[in-house]
Every structure is written in C-alpha cells, then in structure tokens.
Amino acid sequence: MEKIALVVSLEFEPASKTPFLQALLEHRQRSLANEAGTLQFEVLSPGDSLSSLVLYELYESAEALKAHDEGASLALFKQQAGPFITQISVQRCAVLGA
C-alpha cells in the first residue's frame, strides 16, 4: 500500500485563534488515538503569520485517508472550527521511497 501525505494550509480569523487552535489540537489528538491508519499529524505555525497554520498529515493508505475524511473527529472539527476558517488549501502527496 502507498502512504499518502497531506500538506494543508489553513487561514483563520485572527480573533478566533484560541478556540480554533484548541479545536484543531483536540482533532489531532483524536485522530492519532482513534484512527489506526493516521500515522502522523503535525500542526505547524509559520513564524510570519498570526492567522495561519500548516498541517502535515501522514496516512497508511488511501483507505486510511478516506476513513479519516469520513470520520467523526473531522466532522466535529468542522463543526467547531469551520466558521473561523477563511481559506484552506490541500496538497495530496505520494510518499516516495517509503
């Protein structure tokens, strides 16, 4: 099976940083604890922005990514944090040499 990586750029309303980050970190924790195919989920903060984050997510397979996308944790995150998001960009990448 081929591993799948996502690089996700998120922009959010600056005033919502605290609740947005809390919802995102809780989603990260749930994903790693409850989704066997979620291998890595990193939340990165670019040094030059107060209202954007970058996520690096690694999945065991396309099936694991599908399970994540359709799972309860992502649905809850979208419900909690969706109103704060102003822009999102997702790059799906194959993992070479893995």
Domain definitions of the chain by residue range: 4-94
Average pLDDT over every residue of 79-90: 98
Q: Above 70 in pLDDT, residue 98?
A: no
Range 38-61 average pLDDT = 96
Burial class (CB in 10 A: 0-12, 13-18, 19+), 20: buried
pLDDT at 48: 85
CATH topology of domain 4-94: Alpha-Beta Plaits (3.30.70)
Mean pLDDT (whole number) for 42-67 = 96
**What is this structure's pTM?**
0.93
Q: Do strands 52-59 and 38-44 pair parallel, antiparallel, or not at all (unpaired)?
A: antiparallel
